[in-house]
Amino acid sequence: MGIKPLSEYTRGQNWRRRRRTGRPLGHRALGNRLKTVFIENGLMRAGEPDQVVGFFRDLGVTVEVVDAKKEFFSALKGVTDPEEKREAITQAFYKTVFGRIVRDSGAKHLLQGTILTDVDETVAGIKRQHNVFEQLGIDPKETFGYQIIEPLIQLRKDGVRATGKALGLPATLFERIPFPGPALAARVIGEATPDRIETVRKATVVVERLLETTDAFQYMGILHEDRVTGMRDGKRDFGQQIEVRCWESVDARIATPTQLPFEMLEKLAADIISEVPGIVSVTYNIATKPPSTIEAV
Ligand code: XMP
């Protein structure tokens, strides 16, 4: 038996390394028959499309980024009511963007990660989660032209995390803080214009940087619609307000605010005011869910 070329040893090691980190559920089930897309709707956090593509690349999965910023911002134009905003996002995702992808690719099914909390809150009429249809009597096949497969529908966030762990996925993936389907539009009270989304995106960078070591369930910045009188460089500045929320929860059904040290609150205010143009007021939410909800919209 001769000595194998070095590349063969390396190939073997790569294979073993990939096996140890596990593969996402859809790819285990469908392999190359699954086309994976990331919708860049303009509402994502700073650097998120590249980060998500990178996570999947490390797992051996190619993700196609679909630029749909125009479609989403035109659907959100002039919309201020929270439920109408959620509906506009649902239509932009499922009718306009996925409708086109499915038509162009010839796919018949959309595989997505709806979970039980999404269904509960939608059916209870608390908040229309962007990804719930059948439970509202909407047939996706009839309405959008494709069927929807939801393998995680019986699980809540804690069950999804246990599944990720059991699949051998990296903890950086299944321990990521939850982020809602309507993305930063759920964190802008009033109209979600590109400028206002950019403001909340900058605030989110600060909030995530400062609170990632807290081990809290979820944390976020929210841009308020009301302005308040502030002062900058000795002049009046009728500026904008950011509300910070940081939640303790297991499954998002009930939640309590994290008891952050006052020095941390001061640092949040100082960094948000210096890094986010136009902000003159920073507040911290101390209400529980219920009656509050985790996202503001
Ligand atoms: P709320 O704000 O309803 O949020 O207390 C509960 C959890 O669900 C997330 N969330 C969503 N996730 N589509 C989603 O996929 C949505 O429309 C949506 N709205 C809220 C939220 O981030 C929290 O973890």
pLDDT in tens, 241-267: 999 999 999 999 999 999 999 999 999
Give the model's confidence band at 11: pLDDT under 50 very low, under 70 low, under 90 confident, else very high: very low
Question: 56 — phi, psi (to 5°)?
Answer: -70, -35
Q: Is 82 a pocket residue for ligand 1 (Cβ < 6 Å)? A: no
* Residue 179: exposure state from Cβ atoms within 10 A (0-12, 13-18, ≥19): middle
Which of 10-14, 125-129, 158-162 has the weakest average pLDDT? 10-14
Q: Atom 16 of ligand 1 has which residue's CA nearest to it?
A: 129
Q: Is 90 a pocket residue for ligand 1 (Cβ < 6 Å)? A: no
Asked whether the beta carbons of 290 and 181 are under 8 A apart, the reply is: no
Query: Which of 39, 45, 116, 118 best tests ligand 1's pocket when mutated (most atoms within 8 Å of CB)?
Result: 118
Query: Beta 228-232 vs 256-257: how paired, if at all?
Result: unpaired
Residue of higher predicted confidence among 16 and 46: 46
Q: Atom 7 of ligand 1 has which residue's CA nearest to it?
A: 252
3-state secondary structure of 94: helix
Query: Beta 279-284 vs 235-248: how paired, if at all?
Result: parallel
3-state secondary structure of 151: coil
* Residue 244 CA, ligand 1 centroid: distance in Å: 16
Residue of higher predicted confidence among 3 and 118: 118
Q: What is the pLDDT of residue 22?
A: 86
Q: Is 181 a pocket residue for ligand 1 (Cβ < 6 Å)? A: yes
**C-alpha–C-alpha distance, residues 290 and 16, integer Å:** 47
Please determine, for residue 294, whether its predicted confidence score (pLDDT) is greater than 50. Answer: yes
How large is the C-alpha radius of gyration of the chain? 21
Q: How far is CA 77 from CA 35, 192, 196, 281, in A?
A: 30, 7, 12, 26
Q: What is the pLDDT of residue 76?
A: 98
Give the model's confidence band at 20: pLDDT under 50 very low, under 70 low, under 90 confident, else very high: low
Please determine, for residue 152, whether its predicted confidence score (pLDDT) is greater than 80. Answer: yes
Reported as half-sphere exposure (CB side, CA atoms, 13 A), residue 284 has a value of 20
Asked whether the beta carbons of 272 and 233 are under 8 A apart, the reply is: no
* Residue 28 CA, ligand 1 centroid: distance in Å: 27
Query: Which of 45, 127, 200 best tests ligand 1's pocket when mutated (most atoms within 8 Å of CB)?
Result: 127
Please determine, for residue 178, whether its predicted confidence score (pLDDT) is greater than 90. Answer: yes
- Tell me the one-letter amino acid at 1: M
Lookup result for tokens 């059916």: 123
Give the model's confidence band at 13: pLDDT under 50 very low, under 70 low, under 90 confident, else very high: very low
Please determine, for residue 21, whether its predicted confidence score (pLDDT) is greater than 80. Answer: no
Please determine, for residue 18, whether its predicted confidence score (pLDDT) is greater than 60. Answer: no
Alpha helices in 112-245 (DSSP H): 116-123, 140-144, 157-166, 171-174, 194-211
Residue of higher predicted confidence among 220 and 8: 220
Mean pLDDT of 147-166: 95
Q: Is 129 a pocket residue for ligand 1 (Cβ < 6 Å)? A: yes
> For ligand 1, what atom is nearest to the CA of residue 292?
5
Mean pLDDT of the chain: 92
Q: Is 240 a pocket residue for ligand 1 (Cβ < 6 Å)? A: no
Query: Which of 129, 208, 222, 289 best tests ligand 1's pocket when mutated (most atoms within 8 Å of CB)?
Result: 129
